[in-house]
Amino acid sequence: MSYNPTFQFSHAITRRPSASIVNGLRAEDTGTPDLALMQQHHNEYVGLLRETGADVTELEALEAFPDSVFVEDDALCLPGLAVLMRPGAPSRLGEVEHMAPALRKHFKTVAAIEGPGFIEGGDILLTDKEILVGKSARTDSEGIAELTRIVEPHGHVVREVDTPAGVLHFKTDCSLLGDNTILSTKRLDASGCFAGYRVIHTEDDEEAAANTIRFNQFVIMPSGFPKTAEKLMREGFEVRHVGNSECAKLDGGMSCLSLRFNA
């Protein structure tokens, strides 16, 4: 099967950040996230998704789950099929059941990773020919194997790859920009996992720009990475920026904040 381009979307699902975000997971403490500023950035993000014409469902904040604003980790959305994930972070396991009802409204088939393996959506990059899944501290080979068993009958090809050591998710370091074109940090590209793709590198000292999304006509980037933004604009992409200072304190970025799909 030939995949949809994976950057043209009619719908997205987001979740408002909760006051408990101050307890969100993080690799290192770089300060307490400010809820009001995070909500402001979130509003800008949702506004950009809607500006493309997409229908965006904003779910209510979940106080019991500090990281639940990062909805991408809860599910994988494919044409006609959503797969609920099984997050490797114990504090995030319970988020998934709160995502299921929203997905059932849009997908005829909603499958679930049952375990014992783990997998988070942030480790999954869809391209027009395959599904790359990075092993990480949150995603293991058992989780990837179970995902493969679920999606293969639907015509999808899964390839297991590695997330660089010390990097939260595979997509912390890369994004799909368009047909066969990927934005990647040099360190991830050096692994060879993107052989056969056209790869654009983030500029030096701007690795955090890699967690960007192509959403319809826009490439939505975190603010503060002018050299990489300039490079993408020179390539002809319509770049838009969203403040990410607060999500970045929790290792989150543009892809983490939405589930994107056609329905």
Residues annotated as catalytic are 169, 256
What radius of gyration do the chain's Cα atoms show?
Answer: 17
Nearer CB in complex with ligand GLY: 125/232: 125
CB of 212 vs ligand GLY, minimal distance in Å: 17
* Three-state SS at 260: strand
Which residues of the chain form contacts with ligand GLY (CB under 6 A)? 24-26, 67, 70, 89, 92, 168, 250-252
> Between residues 20 and 180, which has the closer beta carbon with respect to ligand GLY?
20
CA distance 36 to 70: 17
CB 243 to ligand GLY: min, Å: 17
Judge contact between 248 and 70, C-beta under 8 A.
no
Contact 202, 222 (CB under 8 A): no
Residue 85 or 220: which CB sits closer to ligand GLY? 85
Sign (positive or negative) of CA dihedral 146, 149, 152, 157: positive
Residue 242 is encoded by which pair of tokens? Answer: 């969203």
**Which residue number has the CB closest to ligand GLY?**
25
Least distance to ligand GLY, CB of residue 38, Å: 12
Phi, psi at 201, each rounded to 5°: -90, 145
Q: Compute the distance between CA of residue 171 and CA of residue 211 in angstroms, rounded to an integer.
A: 6
3-class DSSP state for residue 242? Answer: strand
Quote the least distance from Cβ 70 to ligand GLY, whole Å: 5
* Choice between 168 and 182, CB closer to ligand GLY: 168
